[in-house]
Structure 1
Amino acid sequence: MRILAVDIGTSTVKSGLIDFEGDGVKGFNTIEVPLLRPEPEAAEHSADYLWGIFKETVKETIRKANMEEIDGIVVSGYLFGLIGLDSQNRPLTNIFTWLDRRPAKYLPRLYKTLDPFEVYRRTGCPPLYIYQLAKLFWLLQEKKTLLEKTKTILDAKGFLFLRLIGEKVMDRSSASGSQLLNMYSLDWDFDLIESIGIDPGILPRLVEPNTIIGDLPVSIANELGIKSGAPIVAGVFDGAAVSIGLGGLNQEIATSHLSTSTMLRVASPYPVIDKSPYMRFQTYYSLKKTWLPGGAVNSGGVVLRWFRDSLGGLEKVLAQDLGISVYEILDREAMLSPPGANGIIFLPYLSGERFPIFGNNSSAVIFGLREWHTKRDILRAFMEGVAYNLNLVNEALRENNLRFKEVRITGGGAQSQLWLQILADVLNTPIKAFTRGDAALFGSALVALETLDPSFELTKFDQYLRFDRIALPSENRLVYEKQYEKFKKVLNSLIPLFNEN
């Protein structure tokens, strides 16, 4: 069976043809998505431009794969996007992405109206500005006339479905990251939505991820260069697709995606919320009555990208001369600093963070820097800081009886054996890296395969997974245990200052 899988990200749209009877992924293609910033703190996508990129990357995949006949189409996409449509399904807005900070200033007012812990208990989503609930409240405060004209809201993936088949739908997996879905009933929480003055009639129809939502029309098929009639499967959100692609429906396996941001999630047969008052993790829905408690954090590969662009001028030149990636040079340099980075602690909050107790206002901090430290110490501290931050999520999960025996990881950061070893030592858990393909596309294709082929079971494909790198906890974990406690002390001492901003 041949499945066309597409992943809609905040920075790129990716596509590939997964041939389950042939040799894996064919025609992989990726196109960057420009982020629009029409005013301070805005971060938007043009919906029509995104639709154009979607078609362009699919056409290129079909051309590369040299295959016009496919058995199904499936799409995964980023969470938290919101676009308003009028009565003719025309965009009234761009797509507001999760990077859009304009709703943040209204968050205190929103949670004077609502009990934040009650919202968390019902939706699994902590009180953060990234969610559609906060975006709707912001629109209510600043763009009320526009909101009154809005007849439907969708996310980025839902808008593409509208263009593909003319249906306004949202899969329950993506909807679980909106803060508008009751995570127990898996239906819209109408009481919550109405309590802030929003008409629930603007919400799209909900479907299960393993639902065929329509067939590819002739007009679109001709434009894409493929035969019409292929069934379109709703699919899951991007993080769930990664988890599925890594075998993460097994409750003993946690999954992570070390890219610009990163995450740590583990499967559960029931919804789970943090028993502490700090709401330290989110719980989103995957499919087939499986939930994914865990945490997505802003701070991942972005810290190395910042280091590369701000402090890595010489490394860029050297990498160009040697014909290798600059990140390989940075990796080698960081290896020359000992575990613990000679005492430097880095709080990696270059883009703020998603922890309610401090996240919205946090910023990056280098603590303990002395004149005898070197750039390699700072570089290693950056990598360790990301691991310590992810361990905050790990601790929260384990304190809530969500325990796992290994972490499976993908993304650009998984290419670094050093970073994998740091994570294994800090999390005190074996790490397995999958870097030979795109886990999100593969996971989405698996969802489509099970939907279209009743003989296939998602839970049984795990035996076919092969991992490129493995890192086991070493004696260095004892160093990291001490450094992690120092990391938490530094963080806790700065939380009051963060919250003054």
Structure 2
Amino acid sequence: MKLGLQRNDVVLGIDVGTQSTKCVVLDAAGQPRGSGQAGYDVELPRPHWAEQAPETWWQAATNAVRQALRAANVSPGQVQGIGLAGQMHGVVVLGHDLNPLRPAIIWMDRRSANLCETILARLMPEDVTTIAGNQLSPGFAGASLAWLREAEPDTLDRARVVLQPKDYLVLRLTGEISSDVSDASATWLYDIAQRCWSETLANACGVPLDILPPVYGSGDVVGKLHPQPAESLGLRAGIPVVAGAADQAALLLGIGVVEPGRGSIALGTGGQMTIVSAHPRIDPELRLNTFCHAVPGLWYTMGAILNGGIALRWWRDVISPSRDTTYPELLAEAAVVPAGSEGLLFVPYLEGERTPHMDPDASGAFVGLTARHQRGHMTRAVLEGVAYAFRDCLLVLQDTGPLPDHFLIGGGGAQGTLWRQILADVLGVSLQTVRGTEHTAQGAALLAGLGADVFYDLPQAVAHAVDYGSSELPDPAERAVYDTGFDRFRALYPALRTVRPDGLG
């Protein structure tokens, strides 16, 4: 805590998610005091479209902040700073009056799929690798804006600025147009190595550079809270507001992955395996995503799987449509099955797969099923299949540089010991949990604390705020079993491609 501040001072972290906006109140000792949350829907007006009205984020933020302040029992005068995090890749197009010209196109939108190859054909392959550092996928801002240029040219012609979701809330709070390095680097319009907008990429996507916002460091103060939004939030005017961070970068802050060589695993609906570095670790085959970290001078490289906790949820719903069977019951049955599930394998590609296959049409399967296999075997095979998918990520990350000998792990799927131990055994690395749940909003609050001088520096903030839990170490005997299982697992993706339905080969 810095001189001149009071021990009862707090900062706010606001996380603009896909299904809800959350707010966390963090005190000057880095401890959470209270939280709030308000939900909303994703609009799906046509096949492959996914949109949200930016006003719904604002209304949810006002509700979440007021809930959090009540839960923390703090007064408006105690709040010293506000930081934001948000869903990545989205497109919020604002006119000259700074009001939205249309609903926001969000990350899960796929309407631009048929344009990605056209955009890539306008570029040299080395431009994609060295400038963007990422494969162009539907849902990235560059692709969505290219769709607008083709389908709604008048919208872009009338645009004053294009923002990311959390940047729209920064504008509502302060009246200032801004983005931060972590969100900008995930638009596919940004030079991730030079940290500036790329005219080459913007031209390929048909995006004028003058509608892209100024880019700040994530902890930089962009402006101060204006009186009208302050009244809506139940706060005082004049509170510093920082630029904030993309949700994945804020999550890394919230779990303490802030130094080169540190790694994390997030096991939620999907899953991410991330390593932080002092230079961009770009996979030449672009099977990974590399973005700027919220920590100055750092990057993070991420392998992503689409089927993490969702695979276990699918299996539970298949065998128990009424959901009478609980997750603890399933995990208890799986725990007594030996490693390797007695030869049963599960390919978890229920929603396609990203790293390493980058294949939206990949599909799942149980392989090796016999009459001796029971429900517990199948549940354990699901857990092991997801772990094998993470091992695929680990191997691709290894191609780009050294690996950590341990990873921090979080997310809803990481709460149970069994799945964490299976992951440790399959990956051959130790895993350490991070206590708490709202790590992304907490990361945004840490940025607010830095911008408002509540904390001296990021290491001090992390040391106060991050609460580490238990560790799982790999078992050499189980590891040997899983090495054999992984060799079989890797053979299944190409084999399953040969038996896909017509049109999906």
TM-score over 0.5 for the pair: yes
RMSD of aligned Cα (Å) = 2.2
TM-fit CA distance, 1:196? 3.4
TM-score, normalised via structure 2 length? 0.91
2:221 is aligned with 1:215? no
For 1:484, the aligned partner's letter is F
Give the Cα separation in 2 of the matches to 1:472 and 1:233. 39
The residue number in structure 2 matching 1:306 is: 314
Give the Cα separation in 1 of the matches to 2:138 and 2:118. 12
The residue number in structure 2 matching 1:191 is: 200
Q: Is 1:82–1:132's contact at 8 Å kept on the other side of the alignment?
A: yes
TM-score, normalised via structure 1 length? 0.92
2:57 alignment partner, one of 26, 37, 50: 50
Question: Which one is further off, 120-129 or 174-183?
Answer: 120-129
Q: Is 1:411–1:435's contact at 8 Å kept on the other side of the alignment?
A: no
2:295 is aligned with 1:293? no
TM-fit CA distance, 1:476? 0.8
The residue number in structure 1 matching 2:98 is: 89
* SS in structure 2 at match of 1:453: coil
The residue number in structure 2 matching 1:322 is: none
Q: Is 1:257–1:264's contact at 8 Å kept on the other side of the alignment?
A: yes
2:272 alignment partner, one of 247, 255, 263: 263
1:148/1:496 Cα in 2 relative to 1: closer, same or farther (>3 Å)? farther
1:407/1:481 Cα in 2 relative to 1: closer, same or farther (>3 Å)? same
The residue number in structure 1 matching 2:467 is: 466
Give the Cα separation in 2 of the matches to 1:398 and 1:118. 23
1:204/1:95 Cα in 2 relative to 1: closer, same or farther (>3 Å)? same
1:49/1:455 Cα in 2 relative to 1: closer, same or farther (>3 Å)? closer
The residue number in structure 2 matching 1:444 is: 444
2:122 is aligned with 1:120? no
- Structure 1: 5+ residue runs without aligned partners? 319-325
TM-fit CA distance, 1:472? 0.6
Higher relative CO (Cα under 8 Å, sequence separation at least 6) belongs to: 2
2:116 is aligned with 1:107? yes
2:354 is aligned with 1:354? yes
Give the Cα separation in 2 of the matches to 1:298 and 1:192. 27
The residue number in structure 1 matching 2:67 is: 60
Give the Cα separation in 2 of the matches to 1:237 and 1:7. 9
1:158/1:493 Cα in 2 relative to 1: closer, same or farther (>3 Å)? same
The residue number in structure 1 matching 2:20 is: 12
Q: Identity of counterpart residues, as a percentage? A: 30
1:62/1:298 Cα in 2 relative to 1: closer, same or farther (>3 Å)? same
For 1:468, the aligned partner's letter is G
Q: Once the two structures are superposed, what CA deviation does each residue of 1:13-54 show, in whole Å capped at 9, x if it has no partner?
A: 1111001238x2122122223111111122222211121111
Give the Cα separation in 2 of the matches to 1:340 and 1:376. 12
Q: Once the two structures are superposed, what CA deviation does each residue of 1:415-438 show, in whole Å capped at 9, x if it has no partner?
A: 111110011111111001113342
For 2:38, the aligned partner's letter is I
Give the Cα separation in 1 of the matches to 2:194 and 2:292. 11
TM-fit CA distance, 1:190? 1.2
TM-fit CA distance, 1:92? 2.2
Give the Cα separation in 2 of the matches to 1:312 and 1:114. 50
1:358/1:271 Cα in 2 relative to 1: closer, same or farther (>3 Å)? closer
Q: Is 1:177–1:284's contact at 8 Å kept on the other side of the alignment?
A: yes
Q: Once the two structures are superposed, what CA deviation does each residue of 1:127-183 show, in whole Å capped at 9, x if it has no partner?
A: 322311111222233333433333321111111112222222111111111111101
1:116/1:361 Cα in 2 relative to 1: closer, same or farther (>3 Å)? farther
Q: Is 2:24–2:32's contact at 8 Å kept on the other side of the alignment?
A: yes
Give the Cα separation in 1 of the matches to 2:139 and 2:346. 24
Q: Is 1:266–1:402's contact at 8 Å kept on the other side of the alignment?
A: no
Q: Is 1:243–1:256's contact at 8 Å kept on the other side of the alignment?
A: no
1:356/1:112 Cα in 2 relative to 1: closer, same or farther (>3 Å)? farther
TM-fit CA distance, 1:463? 5.0
The residue number in structure 2 matching 1:238 is: 247
The residue number in structure 2 matching 1:162 is: 171
Q: Is 2:253–2:462's contact at 8 Å kept on the other side of the alignment?
A: no
For 1:469, the aligned partner's letter is S
2:343 is aligned with 1:334? no
* SS in structure 2 at match of 1:55: helix
Question: Which one is further off, 204-213 or 98-107?
Answer: 98-107
Q: Is 1:250–1:459's contact at 8 Å kept on the other side of the alignment?
A: no
* Matched residue count: 490
1:173/1:478 Cα in 2 relative to 1: closer, same or farther (>3 Å)? same
1:41 alignment partner, one of 20, 40, 48: 48
Q: Is 1:262–1:300's contact at 8 Å kept on the other side of the alignment?
A: yes
Q: Is 2:93–2:161's contact at 8 Å kept on the other side of the alignment?
A: yes
Give the Cα separation in 1 of the matches to 2:125 and 2:51. 26
For 1:421, the aligned partner's letter is Q
TM-fit CA distance, 1:451? 2.7
